[in-house]
Amino acid sequence: MKDLTRDSVLQAVAEFDRLGRDQFLSKYGFGTAKSYYIVVNGKQYDSKAIAGVAHGYARPDLGPLAFSDFSGGQAQVQRPLDRLGFEVFADNPAELRKERNPNWTRDELILALDYYLQHPGESHDDSSPGVTSLSQQINALAQLLGHGTSETLRNANGVSMKLLNFRAHDPEYTLRGQVGLQRGNRLEKELWDRFAHDQADLKRIADSIKQRIDAPDEDLREALFGPEEPEIAEAEEGRLVTRLHRFRERNRLLVKRKKESYAKKQGRLCCEACDFDFGAKYGQRGEGFIECHHTKPVSSLTIGEKTKVSDLVLLCANCHRMVHAKAPWLTVAALKALLVR
């Protein structure tokens, strides 16, 4: 319910306190809450009634029609109140946990921010064709990432709300005294700071994600099926292409060819950043051991483009972890520069 505002909710709460519960519910034709409750200043209120009356306050132009299509439930009550910063709980807390959608991923936010920046000044109404199309795209991505399915998973209303969150960081709005929705998170600000002034790079990454949603190849399916790597920070390209990147780094045939090529030229296997030689340090146990790093961002590759031996560099485990430790990833040249400081 995008018409709800924090002020209108607080107005409804104040009227509830002034009239008392029975008179308030009777005045507006609401029954007592059966599922969700809102807590304000330590006091419990019937959330559907509060949200319904707040909707009426926010849309006085609708008159009695403001209540005519207010069915309640998570879509119209729990989630909108939660986004506005209110504490909402279920009579059965397990039910609330079960129905809550997973947090937005970096991949999904990249697509949302790319859309937001390419459509300046748009209202981002959940009924607009653009938001509807974006919702379908992000829903397909969410399912590809293993989020399952639900009626509310990345639906048009949720995508509309997420787009409006970006207004809180957009000077086009904040400098005019306007604000976006205030329930955004750290990752939204991080992405805004990274890409608001580098929209070409954002579009490159977003287009790469979109291409792989539309045509997921066998490499991507295998990469997503593999184990997670929580010790490696999610790169700015997002999880989808990051997992594909890591999968290609471990292509056995390609890694074998890279090692053979490097050993033939250098006479040994060593880290191309710090010169560490596992064989020299650990003897026979370390012979032939080294990791491969893919130097080209997967988002720069076209669909079907294959990784070449020249795209790989050999790195020791420490240097490889440092490359992937934070977004954006380090180039090998930047890593070498750190080592000589």
At 12, the amino acid letter reads: A
Reported residue count of the chain is 341
Helix (H) or strand (E) holding 46: strand 43-46
153: helix, coil or strand? coil
d(CA 5, CA 51): 10
In 226-277, alpha helices (H): 239-249, 252-266
Residue 337 has pLDDT above 80, yes or no: yes
Q: Which range (184-198, 201-215, 241-255, 307-321) has the least confidence?
A: 241-255
Tokens of 22: 């029975």
Cα-atom radius of gyration of the chain, to the nearest Å? 26
How is residue 249 written in tokens?
């780094």
Mean pLDDT of the 113-122 span? 92
Confidence check: pLDDT of 133 > 60: yes
- What was the pLDDT predicted at 278? 94
Query: pLDDT for 76-105, tens place per residue?
Result: 677 778 777 787 776 654 544 445 677 788
Q: What is the pLDDT of residues 23-76, one digit of tens each?
A: 888 888 787 877 778 888 778 888 888 888 887 776 666 555 444 455 555 566
pLDDT for residue 174: 73
pLDDT higher than threshold 80 for residue 281: yes
Query: Residue 97: what pLDDT?
Result: 46
pLDDT at 310: 86
The b/e string for 151-187 (b: 16+ C-beta within 10 A; e otherwise) is: eebbbbbbbbbbbbbbbbbbeebeeeeeebbebbeee
Q: What pLDDT was estimated at residue 212?
A: 79
pLDDT tens across 135-184, in order?
999 988 887 777 766 667 888 888 988 898 888 888 887 777 665 555 55
pLDDT, tens digit (0-9, with 9 covering 90-100), for 202-241: 998 898 888 878 766 666 656 565 555 554 445 566 666 6
Query: What average pLDDT does range 93-121 have in this prediction?
Result: 78
pLDDT of residue 90: 67
At residue 88, the pLDDT reads: 78
Strand partners for 89: 37
Mean pLDDT of the chain, nearest integer: 79
Cα–Cα distance measured from residue 77 to residue 55, given in angstroms and rounded to the nearest whole number: 10
Span 285-299, pLDDT tens digits:
999 999 999 887 666
Question: How does pLDDT run across 189-212, given as a tens digit for each residue?
Answer: 889 999 999 999 899 889 888 887
Residue 56 vs residue 319, higher pLDDT: 319
To which H or E segment does residue 25 belong? helix 21-28
**Higher local confidence (pLDDT), 199 or 301:** 199
Sign (positive or negative) of CA dihedral 178, 181, 186, 188: negative
Q: How far apart are CA 320 and CA 340, in angstroms?
A: 17
Q: pTM of the full predicted structure?
A: 0.55
Token output for 1: 């319910």
- pLDDT reported for residue 201: 87
For 232, what's the count of Cα atoms within 13 Å in the CB-facing half-sphere? Answer: 21
Share of the chain above pLDDT 90, in %: 23
